[in-house]
Amino acid sequence: MIADPFALFPGVPLIESPIFQSVIDSIGLNDQKRSIAEELNRKGYAVFDFPDPELDRRIEGLRRCFVPECGIRDADASAAKNPTVGRFQDAWRYDDDVRAIAVNEAVIELLSKLWGRRAFAFQTLNFPVGTQQHVHTDSVHFSSIPERFMCGVWVALEDIDAGAGPLCYYSGSHKWPIISNTMISRRGWQSELETAQEPYHDAWNAMVAEHQPPFETFLAKKGQALIWCANLLHGGSPRTDPTRTRWSQVTHYFFEDCIYYTPVFSDEALGRLALREVFDVIDGTRKPNLYLGEEILPPPPEKQKQGLWRAVKTKMRGKAK
């Protein structure tokens, strides 16, 4: 029996620990949370009922907020009416219902327990229709040092059927290596892209062809939610019925005491990190980029080509836990 399994790998999320079984036995989870942890470890995702008794009321509020902005003029909000806006990013800044879903304390406590560091919401996305987005991992868009301290939570704001373009994913793909610029011999620093994930499509497609993991879709009921790990390959399946909406909210979470950056625009081997300025949705405060308690700041523009590691401001926050 390992006395303190968490102390061995504090830089790895608990649900992806190389000694997961010892960790899960030691952190005191009830049956429901243990089942979620085991599914995240095995599959890279887990489904649960979103724990908010006010969710129905919030959904109605969201529709009142977003339907006019979509170019839809009645409450039916059918996708066949060709909404002019396909998604709303960071609506938490002006909508209380979006914010409340994102900062649900029971969800934050669950994520904090399962990842081993305090979680905080940093981005929201609200969708009236399916994205039809190519499968991808969030690890290329936003990542952390230590890696994998990021996750997403997708909440169904209505029943989702197969024609609406449901969320899809490859079960178990979170265990694959994280595809980086180094792996595909690409320079990311200060590059320009129309679509940030396209450089990695061929690599992801090849890994799917090689490993043939189970492909699954989430035919969610209203109020169901899905947590996914940072490296789970997921996307939006085709909308075969253009009359169907897919009202949903995604909240992305980071975890405290990490460096937050955008890998697609970084060259880690050269110390050139596209650091992100992230804000906690709960109160809008900036979350510092930290490495073992030491704050990492970007250099002035004239020195950025030298690499971000050259500009380090030390603010010790005590021993990392």
2-32 pLDDT, tens digit per residue, is 667 778 899 999 999 999 999 998 888 999 9
* Distance, CA of 137 to CA of 229 (rounded, Å): 9
Question: 305: pLDDT confidence band, cut at 50, 70 and 90?
Answer: low
Question: 302: pLDDT confidence band, cut at 50, 70 and 90?
Answer: low
Architecture per CATH, domain 43-282, reads as Sandwich (2.60)
- Answer with the residue of higher pLDDT: 227 or 74: 227
Mean pLDDT for 81-99 is 81
Residue 111 has a pLDDT of: 98
Residues 276 and 290: beta-carbon distance below 8 Å: no
Residue 196 region by backbone torsions, left for phi larger than 0, else alpha for psi between -120 and 50, else beta: alpha
User: At 46, is the secondary structure helix, strand, or coil?
Assistant: strand
Is the pLDDT assigned to residue 298 strictly greater than 70? yes
Is the pLDDT assigned to residue 235 strictly greater than 90? yes
Q: Encoding tokens for residue 309?
A: 């590691």
Mean pLDDT for 227-251 is 94
Does pTM top 0.85 for this prediction?
yes
The residue length of the chain stands at: 321
* Distance, CA of 300 to CA of 289 (rounded, Å): 16
What backbone torsions phi and psi does residue 320 show, to the nearest 5 degrees? -65, 145
Average pLDDT along the chain: 88
Domain ranges of the chain: 43-282
